[in-house]
Chains A and B, each alone.
Chain A
Amino acid sequence: MDVLQVILSGLLLGGVYALFAAGLNMIFGVMRVINLAHGELMMLGAYITFFLFSQAGVNPLLSIPLSAVALLVLGVLLQFTLVERVVNQPLLSSLLLTFGLSTLMMGIALNLWTSNFRSVAWSPLTGSWDVAGLAVSKSRLVAFAIALLVTGATWLFLKKSIFGKAIRATSQHAEVAQICGIDVRRVRLATFGLGSAMAAISGSLIAMIFTISPEMGRMFIGKAFAIIVLGGLGSFAGTFVGALLLGTSETLAAYYTDTQLAEAVAYAVLLLVLLIRPSGLFGRAE
């Protein structure tokens, strides 16, 4: 029974990772830009939820669309003014730019909001539901469900809608897409906006589960990269499976060995997968 409990905790944890990593992966897929500031976009989403809750008493679940829209706008602005300039430039340019953005946003947040740890103390989501003897964390289950919903909706949007297809086409081959009449500049604007909104939603969810601080982005960005590599660069489904795999291997390793070793074991799983499938679980060899 304990093992099931541990697997369940891992799956729920993985769901939150998934949404965050999916946005990062989409941005990389479309413009081959590794967005090191993705964690800080998530942090902003978390603070929007925190302040709306603590200052105005807004239900944290209702603040999710607000933080998504706010970061969508910010994402589009960032893409329009800065990130667009480093697309198709050497990888180092985009790394430097997004690293600078990350440091800048974190520094501003530290100054405005201090490094104090904050948390959304919304009591309806503390504790757990008892399901067949398993303790299902309320906050983590709700976060998992919303993450699943948002990731699923995004996946459908990419698969079915014309604009989603344009995004995928650009992701597969930007030049050919352009020749076919797709406005790739607009696609990139939308992608960065959408990716930022996904980061914001994950931030809002994380604010309900963890303690937040301006430096929280750095906590998650490393895991997100591991997930993307595990699942396959540019693969949406891969990200989700990779996230669940990372979450469960972390908690299982912590249960059977030692919490301290868990992260090492999780990354050993990553290495193992890459040995067998160098392009990740769902990735296509380039």
Chain B
Amino acid sequence: MRTNHTSLTTSREAVALRFNRRDLVRKAAALGVSVPVMSALLAAEARAQATPGASPVAAPPEGDPIRIGASVSTTGTNGRTGLYQQEAYLLWEAQKNAAGGLLGRPVEMVIYDDQSDPTTGSRLYERLITEDEVDLILGPYASGVTLAAAQITERYGYPMLVAGASAGEIWDSGLLYVFGVYSIAQDYFRDIVLNIAPAQEYATAAVIYEDAVFPSSTGLGAVAHCADAGIEVVIEEAYPQRATDVSSVLTRVRDADPDLLIGGSYLPDSVLIMRQSKELGVNPRLFAFSVGAAQPEFIETLADDANFVLGPSMWEADVDTEGNQEFFDAYMAMWDREPDYHAATGYAGCQILERAVTDGGDLDLETLRETLLGLTMNTVLPGEYRVDETGRQIGHIPLTVQWQEGAKVLVAPEDLKTGELVLPTPTWEERG
């Protein structure tokens, strides 16, 4: 009976959906399905007629659905970003069901909202595994929730593709069932420090980072890479979360005059560091920030002052990777907005899970774990999926972007770049 409409997910209620939405919402609410999920479902239904990526010739999937569980932050602090990941999961589900399903069976996503709270997240994974008895799981959004959830999925032996987190700590604690989808935070500056800086013969660096798990991981990773590249770190300093002033450390950076100023920072601090660097006349040859530099808000805020800044990016809409254009178009068609990189990593997680399950041939979790350890494949992300023996992602290549005359240009790696690097950064005086 299932046709293309099965893309709408949730189980038996899918039938009811066509007849009585209000009833469904009530039932789903009783089942604890969050409002964002519901609205996403209803939106999906509205668009189901034109399910993106649908292949008209594929045989409709048969049998009981394969149920895939996840908790994603769709409300709370990370709600806005988490939503991208959830939308990618739902897009993949719709595409699979329209194209013959997984192992010939329909796919059904069971997604809860953890409200950006790690404790809630781990409780929800426990519930997905013990009460909902899902067949497979996908990772949540953000490092904090992932770290908490991984303890649960590990206990039950469910392999988890970490589609929304990059803190290296996840793979430092000896967990056997977590698999990275994109680079760990410690590797965000790898390309900039190991390749770009040495090519310019830069010899000194200042690394400042916010005292929180993710940004400090990126900063400390940069320090370690500097040691490998023979770049002397003249200033290494953490600053507190929610900093309102970094002029003191920047005054010292100005005196040390390093070639590189690297910020392990979120968008507000990246902006703060740039503004105060301009005010104080801090003139490194190269500015780089872990978050912010790749985001449109960065240039909206800083305008011309954003030019020359480098930043790592896990994915870009125009990067030439396998299936990226199709993913972009399908996402636009289904959700009426452009995907950001959280959507791309979520989608890549689905691609990897699909391939591993197909290669393994069944839903056995041990087989899946073995397959994920040995698998090498391309996703929409740059580089490839490949993990080391701990499950840490080592095949993904972070892109490097640079703002040039108000436009974001992909400057590295060599085979994917769309423009040339412009260095050194002129001094603030020269920029006028």
Contacts and interface: CB of A to CB of B under 8 A. Distances in A.
Q: Do A and B bind each other?
A: yes
Contacts of B248: 6, 9, 251-252, 254-255, 259, 262
Interface in B241-278: 242-249, 251-252, 255, 267-268, 271-272, 275-276, 278
Interface in A176-214: 209-211, 213
Interface stretch (A23-31, A64-72, A81-89, A122-130): A122-130
Given A5-B280, A127-B278, A259-B249, A121 B302 contact: yes
A118 B237 CA distance: 26
Contact of B237 (A110, A250, A258): A258
A211 B271 CA distance: 7
Contact of B238 (A6, A140, A210, A260): A260
Contact of A262 (B240, B272, B300, B303): B240
Contacts of B244: 13, 210, 219-220
A2 interface: yes
B77 interface: yes
Contacts of A119: 271, 297, 300-301
Contacts of B272: 210-211
Nearest to B247: A9
B247 A219 contact: no
Nearest to A115: B80
Contacts of B249: 254-255, 259
A220 B245 CA distance: 12
Interface string B176-212: 0000000000000000000000000000000010010
B232 interface: no
B279 A128 contact: yes
A215 B267 CA distance: 14
Interface string B301-326: 11111000000000000000000000
Interface in B73-119: 77, 79-80
B207 to A, nearest CB: 13
A125 B330 CA distance: 43
Contact of A5 (B77, B251, B301, B303): B251
A117 B297 contact: yes
A260 B278 contact: no
Contact of A123 (B208, B280, B281, B303): B303
A2 B267 contact: no
A5 B248 CA distance: 9
Nearest to B241: A219
B278 A115 contact: no
B156 interface: no
A260 B279 contact: no
A135 B243 contact: no
A222 to B, nearest CB: 9
B244 to A, nearest CB: 7
Nearest to B269: A211
A279 interface: no
A43 to B, nearest CB: 14
Interface string A3-15: 0011001100100
A59 interface: no
Contacts of A138: 279
Nearest to A130: B281
Contact of A116 (B80, B211, B251, B302): B80
Nearest to A257: B248
Interface string B281-293: 1000000000000
A93 interface: no
B301 A260 contact: no
A2 to B, nearest CB: 5
B268 A117 contact: yes
Nearest to B243: A259
Given A9-B248, A119-B300, A126-B278, 7 more contacts: A117-B267, A119-B271, A119-B297, A121-B300, A219-B244, A251-B245, A254-B248
Interface of B: 77, 79-80, 208, 211, 237-240, 242-249, 251-252, 255, 267-268, 271-272, 275-276, 278-281, 297, 300-305, 428
16 contacts: A13-B245, A114-B80, A115-B79, A119-B297, A121-B300, A128-B279, A128-B281, A137-B276, A139-B275, A211-B301, A251-B248, A255-B248, A259-B243, A260-B211, A260-B240, A263-B240
Q: Which 3 A-B pairs have the closest CB atoms?
A: A254-B248, A119-B301, A211-B268
